[in-house]
Amino acid sequence: MVETQYVALLRGINVGGNNLTKMIDLKACFEKMGLAEVATYIQSGNVLFSTPEKTKPD
């Protein structure tokens, strides 16, 4: 099965020092959704992940 890689560029994460989001918690949220190879980039809210490519039904 082919895996497709994605990047999520989440806006407003950890800006201004209020309502900080820990990257470990953000990573866990993506993993809970069933996504694989989840990695976050510094404290930016940018998340790299992959998911199996689904084929269209015949």
Q: Which two tokens stand for residue 52?
A: 């199996």
Domain of 24? 3-50
H or E stretch covering 5 = strand 3-9
CB 40 within 8 A of CB 26: yes
Overall number of domains in the chain: 1
- The CATH number of the domain where 29 resides is what? 3.30.70.1280
Q: Is 55 within a domain?
A: no
Alpha-helical (H) ranges within the chain are: 23-32
Determine the Cα–Cα distance for residues 41 and 49; give it in Å rounded to an integer: 11
pTM above the 0.75 mark?
yes
Q: What is the mean pLDDT of residues 11-30?
A: 88
% of the chain residues with pLDDT over 70: 86
Which residues touch 1 (CB under 8 Å, ≥6 apart)? 52, 53
Q: Is 16 within a domain?
A: yes
